[in-house]
Structure 1
Amino acid sequence: MNNLIKSKFEFSNIIKDASKTIRSKSYTHNYQPTNYIHRNTHYEILVIKKGGGTHNIDFKEYPVLDNQLFFLRPGQMHQFSPTQETEYSFIAIDNNEIKLNNNIALSQFKFFQSVYAKGYHLVDDVKAIMKSIQQIQAELKPQKKSKINQDIIISSYTVILLIQIQQLFNHSKLKKSKQTKTRKQSDLIDEFNALIDSDTNTKRFVKEYASLLFVNPNYLNERVKLETGHPASFWINQSIIINIKKALLKTTKTLSEIAKEFNFPNSTHLIRFFKKQENITPLAFKKQHRVILS
């Protein structure tokens, strides 16, 4: 994060129209989450103070727990289904970049990267995070949006929130691992993650990513495994499966057409790959989810 954020920044360069591109709501605002699975179009941080219900992200269902954080990227499919007792807040950010002295790309925060953020993140207490979100919400009120420099204030509070969460995330990772890595190795993981997190990703082989990253395939597998606990091939398969599921549910393409799109020799190979990963056939998966997406 040191290369993303500097201690001094120019207020004149902060996101323009922050009041239009940043949104935040809480359970106290009579907010009703979308009641069906849908494609996310922004970066989102969902903070759970008191748990209850479920959250389906990319076709995996997670329990909603106390002191829990969810992180969503554009392109992910999700459905948040809280109970009436659930206490939560969220912030949604349309832009990928926040401009300080250097541009801060939201996609480079570890908690927005799939190889680090595995479903959800639990912390000891979300009070400080909730307080930061409340500050943003106060500045987003209609009566304040017209004030001079309001976008600067909203953007600044948002950056503080992101740094605050990154510190919690880093602290948790340090407790779990004493592994040290060079800046070059860290950049390699980030660049690999950016490739697999694309919702248009169709590359299935480690050698394809290694070629794009100018490294040996075995080295890429080794570095990713040391950092994440799984080799590059594992994360590639996770990415491909999610994108195949989206293709199955969001298009009228045949299995043969989807197989061609994802570089399988034919639909038989696609079915075999899908069933090995999910223990269900593509058509059975599509049938299960047809009602949800109709």
Structure 2
Amino acid sequence: MAKSKIPVYDIYGIIPGHTQQDLLLSRFAPYVREHRHLHTQHGHSFYHLVLFTKGAGEHTIDFDRFTVQPYQVYFMAPGQVHSWHFNGDMEGYLVHFSPAFFQSFLADQHYLDRFGFFRGISKEAVLQIPAAMRKDAVALFENMLAELEQPREGGLDMIRMYLLQFFMQVERCCGNAEKQQVPRQKQLLLANFQQLINKHYNTIRLPREYAELLYITPNHLNALCQDLVGRTAGEMIRDRVLLEAKRLLVNEALTITEIAYALNFQDNSYFNRFFRKNTGMTPEAFRKQIHH
């Protein structure tokens, strides 16, 4: 399909002339002033996080809306889409880093998968930093900025350590305590399932087919999903198809028929029934709501 959908930025293209390999770190206020496209839906091919220290407004991640509050932090995994609508001046910190940024530093290539806020589930990725942690959180970001402003040997590794420290502190204070006790093997299996869905949602719709790819039984897969995310495997597949449908509907250049075809539905009416059953509105109504 030739027509474009939501724009997806890479870590170099989002800022003209940016050359820092695999990392972008900035205070939030100047970043917002320079990037007026933030109010429109867009995606990233990199990990992305923001710690707000001042400001108000609203931001939307994968069509879930959140009210901006001071000392709120939100995380995005590659592939998610979002838009921001701010009221007044904004302050805080922003970090972009590529999937490769930690790969040369950590022996465990799946280390970031242990953090619930990087699973790509928007409602688990927006967290409020408690008062007792705020001073330390700000200090970590200031230390990271200092490493960029006064480059020294090992500076990027220091930034990696500060980031990991921040991730672990957030997970300890704000993460789901029950999920933190989930065995590593189960976390990896769920992450692999989510990766397979992202890769094959357009062609594979049955849980048993994903179970075969994971070398487990359908019952095992379903129990895993219910235990870790409170959803069946079928619901997770359906949710991913629905999310892509919403992303495509943002692009007014695409007709509903073209979107149905792109998502591998048998016909336009089948797609309409699917969308309405799961959202309570037609694709046309959703599109009008988004562009209202």
TM range (shorter): 0.7 to 0.9
Q: Which residue of 2 aligns with 1:70?
A: 74
5+ residue gaps, structure 2, are 1-17
Q: Distance in 2 between matches of 1:25 and 1:97?
A: 16
From 111, 136, 158, give the equivalent of 1:128: 136
Q: Which residue of 2 aligns with 1:285?
A: 286
- CA shift for structure 1 position 173: 3.8
1:240 aligns with 2:241: yes
Q: Given that residues 45 and 91 in structure 1 are in contact (C-alpha distance below 8 angstroms), is that contact kept between their aligned partners in structure 2?
A: yes
Counterpart of 1:47 in 2: which secondary structure? Answer: strand
Structure 1 residues 97 and 250: alpha-carbon distance in aligned structure 2, compared to 1, 3 A threshold: farther
Paired AA for residue 89 in structure 1: Y
Q: Given that residues 271 and 281 in structure 1 are in contact (C-alpha distance below 8 angstroms), is that contact kept between their aligned partners in structure 2?
A: yes
Aligned residues: 267
Structure 1 residues 94 and 186: alpha-carbon distance in aligned structure 2, compared to 1, 3 A threshold: closer
Give TM-score, length-normalised by structure 1: 0.77
Q: Distance in 1 between matches of 2:268 and 2:112?
A: 33
Q: Given that residues 29 and 89 in structure 2 are in contact (C-alpha distance below 8 angstroms), is that contact kept between their aligned partners in structure 1?
A: no
Q: Which residue of 1 aligns with 2:107?
A: 102
- CA shift for structure 1 position 158: 2.7
Q: Which residue of 1 aligns with 2:163?
A: 161
Paired AA for residue 158 in structure 1: R
Give TM-score, length-normalised by structure 2: 0.77
Q: Distance in 1 between matches of 2:19 and 2:286?
A: 40
Identity across matched positions, percent = 24
Q: CA RMSD in A?
A: 3.0
Q: Given that residues 57 and 86 in structure 2 are in contact (C-alpha distance below 8 angstroms), is that contact kept between their aligned partners in structure 1?
A: yes
Structure 1 residues 120 and 216: alpha-carbon distance in aligned structure 2, compared to 1, 3 A threshold: same
- CA shift for structure 1 position 274: 0.9
Q: Given that residues 50 and 65 in structure 1 are in contact (C-alpha distance below 8 angstroms), is that contact kept between their aligned partners in structure 2?
A: yes
Q: Distance in 2 between matches of 1:256 and 1:49?
A: 44
Q: Distance in 1 between matches of 2:191 and 2:55?
A: 31
The worse-fitting range, judged by mean Cα deviation, of 246-255 and 159-168 is 246-255
- CA shift for structure 1 position 122: 2.0
1:61 aligns with 2:62: no
Structure 1 residues 137 and 163: alpha-carbon distance in aligned structure 2, compared to 1, 3 A threshold: same
Counterpart of 2:88 in 1: which secondary structure? Answer: coil
